Structure 1
Amino acid sequence: MSKLAAVLAGAWLGLQLGIGYLAVPVLFQHMGKMEAGAMAGTMFEVVAYSGLAVWLLIYFIGRHELSRSLLRSKTNKFVILLLVLLSVNQFLVTPVIEAHKAGTTNWLLSLVGGSFGQWHGTSSVIYMLCSLLALGLVFRMLRLDWH
């Protein structure tokens, strides 16, 4: 099961890096801003939902492998952090960006405010943190070390 977790994590990391740092920049170089943005948004949604599914499965694989309390696992704590970051980006930050693009309101945007650029920057930082955290987790899982 540990090997399956490492393969899934590596595959998702490849998707995350490939979409975010290769495909999307190419889209914006070769397409109109609005069309590229719409396509990028769809691609980021696929990455986010697949990431939530993969890392949730990895969390449960890690729990099974440990056969003890979650609090004794540094790896599972980092997996939980990654799941939280992915969730925040997908369910809190992305709807604000979409509201900005559509010119509509959003509860978080009304509460906090901020420009499209600020929210897009926040999303980019979270995306980068998820990438780095996943990279560290993949290396950790390749050692098959859940402690």
Structure 2
Amino acid sequence: MSASKAPRFFTVVAGLWVGSMLAAGYLVAPALFTILTDHQVAGMIAGDIFRIEAYLSFVVCLVLLVMANRFVNQGQFQYQSMRWLLLAMLICSLIGSVVLLPWMSALRDQALLEGMPVMQSPAATMFGRLHGASSIVYLIQSLLGIKLVWDATK
């Protein structure tokens, strides 16, 4: 890829990635809970979507980090701050995909084995707290992503 096209590629990939995060978290997931009458099913589908989004975020974030480092090494210092944004987004992605989502899935699976939805199980309070923490981490990642795309389009 030519040196002049690489920053454009960076911006397009960042925009598509952040757009997918915003669509999944703030359009698709709420729509699932509005459309589906069974909130347990809606939650399971949303959980799968967020799991896929977390893995996508991990991969894209690493690619963009490598690119930003290369740009900085080539003297494009406007990418220095974007590296920090990407690192923070990577940390958010890892917290979600390695800690919160698996923990929530385990609580949901255990409740299903006991024959009840997670929100009617003894783990409902813990699940609610994890869901709240996950929502906060996702919001932070989303805001960082918007800042990333904003900075990339300068």
TM-score range with shorter-chain normalisation? 0.7 to 0.9
RCO higher in structure (CA 8 A, sep ≥6): 1
Bigger Rg over Cα: 2
| RMSD, aligned α-carbons | 2.0
Percent of aligned positions that are identical = 27
Is 2:63 the counterpart of 1:57?
yes
Moved over 6 A (4+): none
User: CA offsets per residue over residues 91-118 of structure 1, 9 Å max, x none?
Assistant: 01111111211228xxxxxxxxx71100
What is the Cα deviation at residue 88 of structure 1?
Answer: 0.8
Aligned twin of 1:80: 87
Q: What is the TM-score of this pair, normalised by structure 1?
A: 0.84
Is 2:25 the counterpart of 1:16?
no
Contact 2:21-2:142 within 8 A present in 1 as well: yes
Separation in 2, partners of 1:64, 1:81: 18
Q: Secondary structure at the match of 2:136?
A: helix
Is 2:133 the counterpart of 1:122?
yes
Contact 2:51-2:101 within 8 A present in 1 as well: no
What is the Cα deviation at residue 73 of structure 1?
Answer: 2.2
Q: Secondary structure at the match of 1:103?
A: helix
User: Matches of residues 26-65 of structure 1 in structure 2 within 5 Å?
Assistant: 26-31=31-36, 32-65=38-71
Separation in 2, partners of 1:96, 1:116: 8
Aligned twin of 1:3: 8
Compare 46-55 and 127-136 and name the one that shifted more: 46-55
What is the Cα deviation at residue 13 of structure 1?
Answer: 1.0
What is the Cα deviation at residue 22 of structure 1?
Answer: 0.7
